[in-house]
Chain A
Amino acid sequence: MAYVAVRGGQDAIKKSIELLSLYKTRGSVNIELEALKNRMSLLIDKIMSEAGLISEDYAAIALKQSEGSPEEAVFLLRAYRTTLSRNYYSLPIDCEEMFLLRRISSAFKNVTGGQYLGPTYDYTHRLLNFNLKDDKADDITLDDIQEQVEELKAGRVTDLLREEGLIEEKEDDSEPLDITQFPINFKAPRSARLQTLTRAESGYINGLAYAGIRGFGSCHPTIGELRTGYIKVKIQHPIYKEENIIVGEFLATEVESLFSEELENDEKDPLKIMQQGKGDKADTSKNSLTLGIGYGLVLGRNDNKAISMSILDYVLETEGDSILQDEEFVLLHGDCLEMNGFISHLKLPHYVTFQSKLDRVRFSKKERE
């Protein structure tokens, strides 16, 4: 049905939605929510992470409802989430309390508490498994492989470097800003930055961080530690203030990246002293090197997003002319709803504004003749 001007739109929309239902239910096989939830768990993780809502069941419904489009699914969850009131703020979570599925360090060969690969695609060979053509091939239960059941915890790898005084700590105990309730003002507090990054679209975060380590931002991280596991969420008892209540647990991936950086000492910066024409060798007050930390924490199993988040967190802490050091650029363009909303709005009729634009172009042509 042709879609003409603004009038008659209602009927066109109705038919479009009918057609959409047809597309969603193509073929004779239905996808059960249980299967979506369990067999597409990385996609479910991604959607929960970008939506900022922890519910595998609802994420599965959203996926089914949106033909598997992650951005539509995120949209659905956010639109639902907004109807829920925020009753409590959880108590700070210490990820050392995480029950580990996976823990690796790229900085040290051997770390106290051990390294565990856990379930990862990292060392699989990406060869298409044609056996999966037969739908039943993956229904075999693997009796000899068991999920690890022992409750594994470990301290932080970076603590060892902290003890040696090699890490530059930036203490900040201010109350976190909740970007779901309050707007960000720039310069944004780190809590707002971290919350924005963890909810941002994975691909966006990864692309920016990739640019950063490739040359547009020039930062070279080493992953001090990457851990994935379950963390418990606690709130203060509403009446008995000294008691805490566990309200749930969720799967998360946490990364601490290490960067070498100069300890800033502006007054004594030898280069600046030289540029002021005071002496040609200022070797008495050199800036010293230290290790800076970038932090990433994302919902679910999503190594790359957590690593990328830690890179961007670090780069945003530094100052310079690189595009990645511009927090307005980095923080304002990665929200799944915002970016897709504004891009897709271009499909709306713009007859009036375009008419106005045409007038300008025609006038300018005429002037020149």
Chain B
Amino acid sequence: MDNNYNFAFLDETAKRSIRRAILKAVAIPGYQVPFGSRELPIGRGWGTGGLQITLSIIGPKDILKVIDQGSDDSVNAVSIREFIKECTDVETTEDTEKATLIQTRHRIPEEKLKKDQILVLQVPLPEPLRIVEEREAITKKMHAEMDYAPMWLALYENIVRVGEIEIAADYPVMVEDRYIMNPSPIPRYDNNKLNMSENLYLFGAGREKKIYAVPPYTKIESLSFEDYPFRVEDMSGKSCFLCGAENVYMDEFFDDKTGEKLFQCSDSDYCKKLRLNNSKYELGGSLE
């Protein structure tokens, strides 16, 4: 541990102010709480929002897992994990079940998260209404007045034009029938995991200086129309070339030698567990 710096890098005043923003975010699910975002020694836009949340709530007894694209080995995950480890000395793990605190970019782990776990998501663009309105002052007012008509209209026009809502990842959700929220760029496949979950989800956008939350047992609905239901990525007929898993989110890639298209579990820990134990794990996300 580098003793030139405070435990978890940030000074205690900064941590306290971030924790206050988190408490407010938990109290108003889906509402974007502005906070005094601090500079960190990793690139702004590379997960500094999530990292500030993690650094503010982490304690010496926490067990930390960091993933990017579902993988613990992804370069950015390695970099962030090394940094947190260096300034906290906490235990780290790749095992989703064992972790008390998980920081992630672009995925929610496949394995169902429990009530004593916190998932911290890195958020690039917190404002779901940005696609219909460029200005912050106006989107803030739209949220306050629940003026979501332009958003619904944009989705409707999208369907008329293309036959489908075009938003791929970061598909907006309605939180407890009140706030429209960006779930961060997780695939649509992961949206259902937010609904009525046992664990707490915290979202941090460092560059945009916003924190928001989905507390346990919050109703989350992906925006859709009665005649155009929400549809997740089609993974049917695909299976992981390593563990054989089906019905999980997979990355496609091309084999180096043969050029053949292959699929592989995006969640590397889940994939490893299936290969080693070959037992069933409870998947997160309920469609109820």
Q: Give the interface of A toward B (CB within 8 A).
A: 108-114, 117, 122-123, 125-127, 160, 214-216, 218, 260, 262, 269-271, 274, 282-283, 286-289
Contacts and interface: CB of A to CB of B under 8 A. Distances in A.
Contacts of A125: 41-42, 79, 82-83, 86
B131 interface: yes
Nearest to A270: B160
Given A125-B79, A262-B162, 4 more contacts: A112-B254, A123-B76, A126-B41, A215-B130
A271 B75 contact: no
A270 B256 contact: no
B41 A109 contact: no
Interface in B83-102: 83, 86
A114 B259 CA distance: 12
Nearest to B132: A218
A283 B159 CA distance: 9
A171 to B, nearest CB: 25
B42 A110 contact: no
A315 to B, nearest CB: 14
B256 A126 contact: no
A126 B42 contact: yes
26 contacts: A108-B251, A108-B253, A110-B254, A110-B256, A112-B254, A112-B255, A112-B259, A113-B256, A117-B75, A123-B78, A125-B79, A125-B86, A126-B42, A127-B41, A160-B254, A214-B125, A215-B127, A260-B166, A260-B168, A271-B160, A271-B161, A274-B160, A283-B163, A286-B162, A288-B162, A289-B162
B43 interface: yes
5 interchain residue pairs of minimum CB distance: A126-B41, A110-B253, A286-B163, A123-B79, A215-B130
B55 to A, nearest CB: 13
Interface of B: 2, 41-43, 69, 75-76, 78-79, 82-83, 86, 125, 127, 130-131, 134, 157, 160-163, 166, 168, 251-256, 259, 264
Contacts of B69: 109
A123 B75 contact: yes
A59 B75 CA distance: 34
Contact of A270 (B75, B86, B161): B161
Contacts of B254: 108, 110-112, 160
B204 to A, nearest CB: 17
Nearest to B168: A260
Contacts of A271: 157, 160-161
B256 A114 contact: yes
Contacts of A160: 254, 259
A109 B125 contact: no
A269 B256 contact: no
Contacts of A108: 251-254
Contacts of B157: 271
A214 B157 CA distance: 22
Contacts of A287: 161-162
A220 B130 CA distance: 12
A44 B101 CA distance: 43
